[in-house]
Amino acid sequence: MNQSLRSIIENSRRLVFFGGAGVSTESGIPDFRSETGLYHTMQMYGHSPEEIISHSFFLKSPETFYDFYKKNMIYLDAKPNPAHSTLAVWEKLGFLSAVITQNIDGLHQDAGSKKVYELHGSVRRNYCMDCHAFYTLAYIMDEANCIGGVPICNQCGGIVKPDVVLYEEALDGSVINGAMKAIEEADVMIVGGTSLVVYPAAGLAHGFRGRKLILINKGATALDGRADLTIGKPIGEVLGELADLVPLYGIIGEEKK
């Protein structure tokens, strides 16, 4: 394992993690822009990717939207990988202050992470567009609750929409503010599994002004020139080798026992 990475983390006082699609690909969830990713899959629907997962398309053709969404963006069997698990342990030990993710799969929470800023929302949350009643992922995936594949509210009959940020929609202000605060207060930030090309989310990472910036990604990123350390490996592989890491100051209270 890279000893420089271990040393930086062991001496961190307030660590924050900023992650992208590469964190979830190791759990079997495809990314968006690779040759086998969702961008190319969408071409089979006769629409550009920006169009089919846009707010206006959802309103115009919810049947087509949900046909794609359920087949290509929901992975019920996906499980957390070593990256998710390691981050959850670090949070429990008290030196990881937050996870900021561009992913919508909820795997960080499955692994045990509590402070997670989901910049693009989550497939786990769904709301009626009319009465705002909440629905689980299981509800919208059950065809008994759908008409033409579109989930319908059982209280008012309105269309249920996933709480994910579609094209043409703004990011949630409270989530952005929380993520910005976590980044501003961090002395070390790890950016993993993202090339930092999706805005406005990627712009948050550019705002980091802490002591050490670590980039872990199989390809180049927009912040490589600013990084104190870059590692061109899968994020799960790298963090998995650090699962036993405990900063020197972190062994306190019950953890000492």
Token pair 């989930």 in the structure block, residue: 151
Q: Is 153 within 8 Å of 131 (Cβ atoms)? A: yes
**CB-count burial class (<10 Å; 0-12, 13-18, 19+) for 160:** buried
Phi, psi of 182 (to 5 degrees): -60, -40
Q: Which of 101, 134, 136 is nearest to 115 (CA)?
A: 101
d(CA 248, CA 118): 30
Is residue 120 flagged as an active site residue? Answer: yes
How long is the chain?
257
Q: Is the peptide bond before 200 cis (omega within 30 degrees of 0)?
A: yes
Which of 40, 47, 120, 206 does the annotation list as catalytic?
120
- DSSP for 107-173, please give it: HHHHHT--SEEETTEEEEEEEETTT--EE-HHHHH-GGGEETTEEB-TTT-PBEEEEE--BT-PPPH
Q: Is 233 within 8 Å of 243 (Cβ atoms)? A: no
Q: Catalytic residues, which ones? A: 120
